[in-house]
Amino acid sequence: MKVVVTGSRGFIGRNLMARLRALGGNVIVPFDSDDSLDDLRAGLATADIIYHLAGVNRPADVHDFETANAGLTRSICAILHELGRRPIIVMSSSVQAALENPYGASKRRAEEALQEFAAATGAAVSIYRLKNVFGKWCQPNYNSVVATFCHNIAHDLSIQISDAGREVELVYVDDVVETFLSDLPGRAVDSRRDIPSYSLTLGDLAGRIQSFHDMREHLRLPDFSVRFNQQLYATYLSYVPPDSHRMQLDIRMDQRGGLAEFLKSSHCGQLFVSRTRPGITRGNHYHHTKAEKFFVVEGEGVIRMRPIDSPEVIEYKVRGEDFQVIDIPPGFTHSIENIGAGEMITLFWSSEIFDPDRPDTYFLPVFADVASANAVSL
């Protein structure tokens, strides 16, 4: 299948091109501002589908609205008429097409040109009036508040909010692209067809993005069960400078080795990691509500636990190469000992974030009475 993409180097065009390449099986013909109408004609001559994404929304000369938006669309229709072809045409328009401003009027006239072509030829035409698209590769400080906030916050620059209570409606570029792809011939069409959108205030938007930046300090994850948070976080990361991708954790060192908190979440607890020297034991405490999981990633150890009201000790020998996870229930005092020759690296999960005011951690040796305790190895 031959696919022509106009505006191929633009924000949406780059994302669409990446998905088309990943799908495979298509001959993709990109067209952008540096290409000629002869290049466009050559692509249109054999195109099965045209994604018409080219256009301008902040030109230096207001007359360029008409040339780049309505004019280019009319040229495409004229070339197709001349060639006697009627491929599928998918056009990205704007909600501003309903408004009386130079940009909106030029997009509306582009829509009308396509609709006239469809009426005259029977060609299948899909026109999507998009609103505030956000995602990776969008140009900051141009016409996207999300791109600007993400870029500035990621680079420790200030942001300007004139009205924090003003609501904006956003759509994610991957959702736009997925909807566009439903128009490919032979592809199952999503019966919903509507592109998901999100409405929130500018203050809320800025606060979420700032919290992503501050994760380097507080390690707290947003609620990723909310799809919008996943999309916004992915967008934010795409603006973080390459020299800022590395993050140093706060390591707590003592005679046992090192320990560092890794990630925290009010929805699923926290992760931390330790390096334990040979012969050293960590733990010998219990929790009433907090549950934990121990996963020895490297080295060899033994995890011991017993009910706090019983003498019976349970032992689990663990090795990094075995990829075993041990559950630590509440009401069981527990410990982990490095019985290997080298350092033991352990990943811990706790069902709640540690709160020094309510630690739910009580010291109690696993072997309360070594002489009478029974150990059962599992």
Instruction: Give the strand pairing for 325-328 and 292-298.
Output: antiparallel
Total number of residues shown for the chain: 378
Owner of token pair 């951690």: 361
Give every strand in the sheet of 257-265, ordered side by side: 251-254, 257-265, 269-276, 344-350, 292-298, 325-328
Angle (CA) 64-134-141 rounded to 5° is 60
Q: Is 103 a catalytic residue?
A: yes
Report whether 302 contacts 336 (CB < 8 A): yes
DSSP annotation of 111 reads H
Which residues, other chains included, contact 273 with Cβ-Cβ below 8 Å and sequence gap of 6+?
Answer: 259, 260, 262, 297, 345, 346, 347, 348
What gap in Å lies between CA 375 and CA 356, rounded to an integer? 32
**Options 103, 172, 198, 286, the catalytic residue:** 103
Distance, CA of 332 to CA of 305 (rounded, Å): 6
**Strand pairing of 344-350 and 292-298?**
antiparallel
Q: How far is residue 208 from each of residues 16, 28, 134, 153, 236, measured CA to CA in Å?
A: 27, 37, 14, 11, 10
- Which residues belong to the active site? 103
